[in-house]
Structure 1
Amino acid sequence: MTFETVAERINEDSGCPEHDISMRHITATVHVVPDGTGEAFVDFVAETIVGIIKAYFDIKRETKPFIIN
């Protein structure tokens, strides 16, 4: 799986570097502590819901209504 770094910054509270990465529909913020450890905060729910809503409207737009007699 490939990922893309979409943003890098220094955390205002701790001074540690943070990286926002994107992997398909998942976005994560990786917080790196100077000793090499860290945490990852994953936000995939919002991205997944947006993807589902877009897919729903794409399907709805491509289908034609029909009447069953």
Structure 2
Amino acid sequence: MPRRRGPGRPPRRARIHRPTGRTRVLLVRHTGRTPERVSADVERETFLTAEDAVAYGLADGIVPGRRPSARPHGGR
């Protein structure tokens, strides 16, 4: 039996994917962006490349990829 939501409570999916106030405060603190900018950015679905994440302040740097390994066919 599905659980019933209380009045004003968003569906579970929305609660999981929507950053909390604490998350927004941390993003403001660590990215150097204004609270308004962070709120606008997290409200819309934003996808960042690794380079964009560094420029935004979400990551310190990019770890270079390794060369593809020569695996036997079907190996893991």
Short-chain TM bin = under 0.3
Which structure has the highest strand share of the two?
Answer: 1
Which structure has the highest helix share of the two?
Answer: 2
- TM-score, normalised to structure 1, is 0.23
